[in-house]
Amino acid sequence: MQSMLTKFESKSSRAKGIAFHPKRPWILVSLHTSTIQLWDYRMGTLIDRFEEHDGPVRGIDFHRTQPLFVSGGDDYKIKVWSYQTRRCLFTLNGHLDYVRTVFFHHELPWILSSSDDQTIRIWNWQNRSLICTMTGHNHYTMCAQFHPKEDLIVSASLDQSVRVWDISGLRKKHSAPTSMTFEDQMARANSNQADMFGNTDAVVKFVLEGHDRGVNWVSFHPTLPLIISAGDDRNVKLWRMSETKAWEVDTCRGHFQNSSACLFHPHQDLILSVGEDKTIRVWDLNKRTAVQSFKRENDRFWVIAAHPEINLFAAGHDNGVMVFKLERERPAYAIHQNNLFFINKEKHVRSFDFTQNIQSPSMLSLKKLGAPWVPPRTLSYNPAERSILVTSPTDGGTYELINLPKDASGAVEPTDTKRGTGNSAVFVARNRFAVFNSSSQTIDIKDLSNSTTKTIKTPTNINDIYFGGTGCLLLCAPSNVILYDIQQKKTVAELAVSGVKYVVWSNDGLHAALLSKHNVTIVTKTLEQVSSLHETIRIKSATWDDVGVLLYSTLNHIKYTLLNGDNGIIRTLDETIYLTKVKGRSLFCLDRQAKPKLLNIDPTEYRFKLALVKRNYDEMLSIIKTSNLVGQSIISYLQKKGYPEIALQFVQDPQTRFELAIECGNLEVAVEMAKELDRPKLWTRLSAEALSQGNHQVVEMAYQKLRSFDKLSFLYLVTGDTEKLNRMAKIAEHRNDYTARFQNAIYLGDVETRIQMLKEIDLYPLAYVTAKAHGLNEECEAILEASGLTEEDIKIPEISAPISPSRAIAPTHQKNWPLRAASQSFFEKALLGQVESMTIEDEATPSGMNGFGMDDDADEGKKFNGDFLGVEGEEDAAGWDMGDDDLNLEQADELAVETDGTGVGMSEAELWARNSPIAADHVAAGSFETAMQLLNRQVGAVNFEPLKPRFMEIYQASKTYLPATVGLPPLANYVRRTVEETDSRKILPAIPRDLESVRTNDLQKGFAAMKANNLEEGVKIFRGVLHNLILTAVQNKSEIEEAKKIIRTATEYIIAMSIELERRSIATDESQVKRNLELSAYFTKPTLELPHRQIALMSAMKLAYTKKNHVLAAHFASRVLANNSQGKNAENARKIKAVSERSGQDAIEIEYDQFAEFDICAASYTPIYSGQPFVQDPFTGAKYHPRYKGSICRVSQVTEIGAPASGLRLLTQ
Amino acid sequence: MDPFSSEGELLTIHNAFHGGQYSAVIDHDSSALSAENSIPARVYKLRSQIASGQAEEVAAELEGEDSPDLAVLKAFAEYSQGNTNDALKTIESLVESSSDNATLQIIGATVLHAEGRSEEALSLLSKHQGSLEAVALIVQIRLSQNRTDLALKEVQNAKRWAQDSLLVNLAESWVGLRIGGEKYQQAYYVYEELAQAPSTSTPRTLIGQAVAELHLGRLPEAEVALQQALEKNPKHEDALANMIVLSILAGKEFDEYLSSLKNVAPSHPFLTDIAQKSELFDKAAAKYTAKVGA
């Protein structure tokens, strides 16, 4: 017997009644002591107590939708309560003995009660009246319940019977009168026998007899026509009913004391019963066999209740209640890269692809794993072997090692299963797994054949094991976690974290999250704690974002935590889920039915915080710009983290903005906000901040606003602003503020004013002294005169030289003082668009066509990529004969290596050379001679010097160096392009820079060089392409075609560019005007991509026009227009064409016949007219006048013109 | 009991040595070892010292030692310093006198093989008695002779009696990297397991992982592993050599690595090989000329 999963337990007196709240995590418990308790079983707290009954309370029920509950007690009373107002609303009196059970109807405003007065009553709680009394039982009725859907009631009584009552009459009576037709009335009158009181509202439909003693409890099945009853005969009986009759199906025997209550499992084919024998028993509904039983030491069970929605039960016993689950609801699952492997409720193994959001069909059925009704506990996946390890708690813990089928073809039973006992089993390496045995506290390391290779005694008592990085295990002990090296059999690290239940590794394997009931601890792979956080609500699961954010789920929230421990809520949850993967805004999870689900989340907040932590301002900026991230929490977060300047970006409220601006020293904003709010307090603070920054202009403004004249005066003094100081003096005069006047006068050194002022306020002695001190004798006289004194009357102390105020040396008032280092962050600058890297627009593409004297249409260049593949390859295939060549390389059938005996074998390089007729493969094999021989025969290569870099490149990349035995040189291994191949006759070397890379890199570079008018560079690049392709290997025939096309393209470009380069070398030579014109005309001849051909044509057109070859110019203009009749170039062309056609004459006769077919000789750049003899280069296919036969191809610089050749081989077959 | 078995006290030092954690070997506290194991432990320590470039110190330390274990190590230390002739002579005479000494077999065979006398090395090694190191060495010699078939046989034999040993796993991976196909992946798993476990992550194991990935065509992953190896030891010659190979295959610049390799190990096989091939190219290319001069 495994332990039941107890979620909550309360201590109290005997619990006689229990009711679950349908939505909230609440449970009502009615006690033998007359108390009714309301518990939050999730938090484990007592919410309320209701004490109005007198004596034991046995019946209790929540209303499904209203904030009501009902109770019935031994005081014969039924009470209806509001849990909101926490008061009893009213009492229903009528029963004449103990009330045993009370239940609300699921939709009608009815309460059903059963009582020891042998009646069952139905009450209307809206008008608080008794509407029906059912008599018939002739002993206490112990229990009465409504049918969940139909108009039926089932009751149990100590008279040993169970009765089913039809209450359709009652419903009809209490619903609208029109609903009953005459026929209905007739039918009812005929079918229903009135009871002894002539009452047809509720009539007995069936009387079920079978129990030998009184029946304590009875209930309906939620969907099937089944009834379950429990009685003092210790039996639990199952009954079935049809429209017309009901009968006993079977009896579940097992309780060895009175069975006090029973019910059907709401979702599974199970029966649960409790009894005074202190057991809870679980039965299989279909087989009526015992599945599980749970025994308490001292407490008799009295009642059991099931939660209507979730998989939760509660049982009341002598000392309280327990809330429990029958089984773990956490589905067994494992995640590997983009796949989730899980076991669903049918015990089928399935996978789920995160990238495509697709669930696979069932791959395996694990029906036989463990016991029925016991779901598997864990799943561990081995990608190397594509096998799974599944554990089940059955029989004290078992595991099975099963290979997954290649394709998911349905729920097949696994064939090759290896099993054993153990509580946990995880893969620790490709070919090893660890099995933990809790009772013996040992860990067995097993290989894939399930034999133990090593046994480890755990260093301390542990609960569970988890993968701990390669070769290591994480051992979860009750109060710590241990990182254990399997190989060395020793503890690598230890961390005190209590009660760790699950371990979730980050995608990069650098961090792990240790989940315990209420804590998340993030550790590094070496078990150093990074951060830890506490949750009051139970933590269920976690998954890592790719950027190092942990998302975790509690019972009711999805939250996140950064590595530094900053956390927050992402969203609330209605039901418990198990997070499996997060990708952008998509959060994947499994629900309790083990179905994959996709939730949408808003990652903005944590992305933002992460960006902040990583100081990734670009990302922060884009988040601020693109999402509406606001709210007090983020502001206070930013403030707390010391980023007021960033918080400033989010805030609208002026007061807050002001505070933040002051905090980050952003005076501009602060001034703005202060102006808006205009409160003295703010100005004071602003002035202080501005002063400390040295921004005295702001200080001045603040002082002005504050009308703090003294300070202003002083400010003007120190900044040397005499003008304003004078004005201050005037203002002081206006204000009649003598102190201020005096002060200003001192600041200004204005003695007259001072004396004047002193006189005004009748302080003549002071005025006199002042005048005297400054040597103003006339003034002294005047004062004496005015006061009627003579000099002799006055005794004044010795007066030293008058003090004049020091003057500001520099007139700093014109400008601000040097400001304190600007606190403007990168971030703000970015917001203001001052950082160059932040600008989104690309640099203007350089218009490199200046050499051609025209602008390129940007579109044309872009079209390019697409056009290339569509180019018609119209070349001579002669050089590409794919037929067998006449190489004398023998194809040995048997390989010497296969034979036994000692001696030295053939190296792989030699095999390559033997396996392939491709020159590149011979190069890779280091067999340069044969490679050259091959190239010579295939394409007439004679000048190998230009190919040397390519030779060395290929050869250098052919081997890797694996350090093996210490002290010896590394082992060379040969890099193959045939990665899957092991047949030594088919293996071939990897050739670097394949066709794909030529196409996507070099070729585009060449085109770019053409566009940028960088012709020398372009020739080099295209020649590089040729040298690359002469030594390459391809995968299939279509690639051969492509390679040919690229060779042809490169050749055409080289010829074209060379012609243009030749022309430029003579362009300024007046004597060569004819040649100049000819070359520009020939430049239009090679097959170039359309935009490039336009370049050639435009150039030829312009040159012809300027040289007054109007016929020719018109010809090129027409060709330009034929290619593209829109845009600036076309405009130009049209004009030139119009002008030229009017003239209709060529000034200089050149050798270019626009109507004749001809090619250009790649050496002399002269026409080879059709029909004239020519020779070709076997590799590039470039044509030459016959006189060039035997010389080196001007295009490839490798091959010999006109040499006999069999054609380049790029494919082995 | 086999001292190298999973229960043995030499396992840690043995694994550390073959994983390339020389400093761990040198620092290993061997005072608690039993008498019979103290000599092998010392041998490992001395070999680690030689491998980490302290051959001179070792030679000095062993001056005058005449037990075969230490004498051959002294010879090896001298050999490592370039004093090949004397060392060879010493070793030859030791082979004559006590060819059943395990240390002598390993060191002797290593030197003989390095001298190109592989068959002699093999015959010396054939006398080993359940020494995994000897097996590994035989495998390597066979592989360098391109006798993958014989190397494979050797590994398969050894697996019968030492399935779980690090050395056998490594030797199997060496062979696997020659065979290719699925074996690449298996070799990868072995090295990855070592390279990613913090206790056994060394440049050697990381290079192993990178090489396997490279053969599997997974270039970006291989690059990451090599970067890690170079982080641990920026002068690791094999890491540099493989980095060059990888860079070429990935079409990236590699001049930096090439110049550091030239600095660190001018005689690395990679460099000697390409120098030789460069010459070969010039010689071979000289045979061809165009009929008509350009």
The DSSP result for A1133-1156, as a single string, is HHHHHHHHHHH--BSS--S--TTS
Those residues with Cβ within 8 angstroms of residue A1202's Cβ, 6 or more apart along the chain or in another chain: A940, A1175, A1176, A1177, A1178, A1184, A1188, A1189, A1190
Q: What is the DSSP letter of A1002?
A: I
Q: Which of B180, B278, B285 sits opposite A987 (nearest CB)?
A: B180
Q: Residue A338 corresponds to which amino acid? A: N
Pairwise CA distance, residues A1004 & A1002, whole Å: 5
Q: Could you tell me if A992 lies within 8 Å of chain B, comparing CB atoms?
A: yes
Task: Assess contact for A510 and A525: CB atoms under 8 A.
Answer: yes
Q: CA-based diameter of chain A, in Å? A: 144
- Contact list, B214 vs chain A (CB under 8 Å): 960, 975
Terminal-to-terminal C-alpha distance of chain A: 68
Structure token pair of residue A403: 């290979």
Q: What is the pLDDT of residue A566?
A: 82
pLDDT at A187: 52
Which residue's entry shows tokens 């435009």? A1098
Which of B12, B163, B268 shows the shortest C-beta gap to A488? B12
Question: What CA–CA distance (Å, rounded) separates A539 from A499?
Answer: 12
- Closest residue in B to A1197 (Cα–Cα): B294
The whole-angstrom distance between A1021's CA and the closest CA on chain B is: 15
What are the tokens at A907? 């190296």
Number of Cβ atoms within 10 Å of the Cβ of A290: 14
User: How confident is the model at residue A36, as a pLDDT?
Assistant: 94
Cβ <8 Å between A470 and B197 = yes
Q: What DSSP state is assigned to residue A194?
A: P
Question: Are B149 and A1001 an interchain contact pair (Cβ–Cβ within 8 Å)?
Answer: no
The whole-angstrom distance between residue A1115's C-alpha and the CA centroid of its chain comes to 61
Q: Please, what are the domains in chain B? A: 180-268 (1.25.40.10)
The alpha-carbon gap from B263 to the nearest alpha carbon of chain A, in Å, equals 17
**Which tokens go with B14?**
């043995």
| Cα distance between the two ends of chain B | 78
Contacts of A384 in chain B (CB under 8 A): 185, 189
Smallest CA-to-CA distance from B121 within B142, B151, B101 is with: B142
Name residue A1091's amino acid. Answer: P
In the sheet where A577-583 sits, what is the strand order? A577-583, A586-591, A596-600
Q: How far is A1018 from chain B, CA to nearest CA, in Å?
A: 19
CA distances for A135 relative to A112, A196, A1158, angstroms: 13, 9, 117
Taken in order of first residue, the domains within chain A and their CATH numbers are 5-170+200-325 (2.130.10.10), 328-412 (2.40.10), 628-787 (1.25.40.470)
C-alpha triplet A261, A262, A265: angle, nearest 5°: 150
C-alpha to C-alpha distance for A695 and A702, rounded to whole angstroms: 11
The tens digit of pLDDT for each residue in B186-215 reads 888 888 888 887 777 888 889 999 999 999
Separation of CA A413 from chain center: 36
Whether B180 contacts chain A with CB within 8 A: yes
pTM to 2 decimal places: 0.56
Query: Cβ contacts of residue A43 below 8 Å, gap of 6+?
Result: A25, A536, A537
Burial class of residue B71 (count of CB atoms within 10 Å of its CB; 0-12, 13-18, 19+): buried
Per residue, the 3-state secondary structure of chain B, as one string, reads: CCCCCCCCCCHHHHHHHHCCCHHHHHHCCCCCCCHHHHHHHHHHHHHHHHHCCCHHHHHHHCCCCCCHHHHHHHHHHHHHCCCHHHHHHHHHHHHHHCCCCHHHHHHHHHHHHHCCCHHHHHHHHCCCCCCHHHHHHHHHHHHHCCCHHHHHHHHHHHHHHCCCCHHHHHHHHHHHHHHCCHHHHHHHHHHHHHHHCCCCCCHHHHHHHHHHHHHCCCHHHHHHHHHHHHHHCCCCHHHHHHHHHHHHHCCCCCHHHHHHHHHHCCCCHHHHHHHHHHHHHHHHHCCCCCCCCC
Between residues 80 and 119 of chain B, which touch chain A (CB distance below 8 Å)?
Answer: 80, 107, 110, 113-114, 119
Residues in B 12-31 with any Cβ partner in A closer than 8 A: 12, 15, 17-18, 20
Contacts of residue A1170, defined as CB under 8 A and 6 or more positions apart, other chains included, come to A1156, A1157, A1158
Whether A897 and B214 lie within 8 Å, measured CB to CB: no
| Distant-in-sequence, close-in-space partners of B14: CB < 8 Å, separation ≥ 6 | B4, B44, B166
Does the beta carbon of A755 lie under 8 angstroms from any beta carbon of chain B?
Answer: no
Q: Which residues contact A377 (CB under 8 A, 6 or more apart)?
A: A328, A332, A391, A392, A393
Q: Name every residue whose Cβ is closer than 8 Å to that of residue A501 and which is 6 or more positions away in sequence.
A: A464, A476, A515, A516, A517
Task: State the Cα–Cα distance between residues A471 and A426, nearest whole angstrom.
Answer: 12
Q: Does B44 touch chain A (CB under 8 A)?
A: no
Measuring CA to CA, which residue among A600, A553, A545, A590 is closest to residue A359?
Answer: A590
Per-residue CA distances from A647 to A3, A643, A832, A847 (Å)? 53, 6, 15, 43
Is any Cβ of chain A less than 8 angstroms from the Cβ of B147? yes
* Cα three-residue angle A1178-A1180-A1185, rounded to 5 degrees: 70
Strand partners, A112: A103, A122
Answer yes or no: do B150 and A902 touch at CB < 8 A. yes
The DSSP string of A920-961 is: HHHHHTT-HHHHHHHHHHHH-B---GGGHHHHHHHHHTTEEE
Pairing of strands A378-382, A68-73: unpaired
Q: With an 8 Å Cβ cutoff, are A905 and B292 in contact?
A: no
- Provide the total of helices (H) and of strands (E) in chain A, helices listed first: 30, 62
Residue of A nearest to B204 (CA): A963
User: What is the distance between the alpha carbons of residues A495 and A553, in angstroms, rounded to a whole number?
Assistant: 23
Q: How far is B177 from chain A (nearest CA, A)?
A: 7
Residues of chain A with pLDDT under 70: 1-3, 176-200, 625, 627-633, 650, 799, 816-903, 1213
Window A:465-524, CB contacts with B under 8 Å: 469-472, 485, 487-489, 492, 509
Amino acid at A1067: A
Q: How far apart are CA A921 and CA B282, in angstroms?
A: 19
Residues on chain A touching B282 (C-beta within 8 angstroms): 948
What type of residue is A1038? Answer: S
Q: Is B281 touching A (CB cutoff 8 A)?
A: yes
Phi-psi region of A731 (alpha: psi -120 to 50; beta: other; left: phi over 0): alpha
How far is it, in rounded angstroms, from Cα A1018 to Cα A1009? 5
Q: Write down how long chain B is.
A: 294
Residues 803-842 of A with CB under 8 A from B: none
Q: Do the Cβ atoms of A1189 and A1173 come closer than 8 Å?
A: no
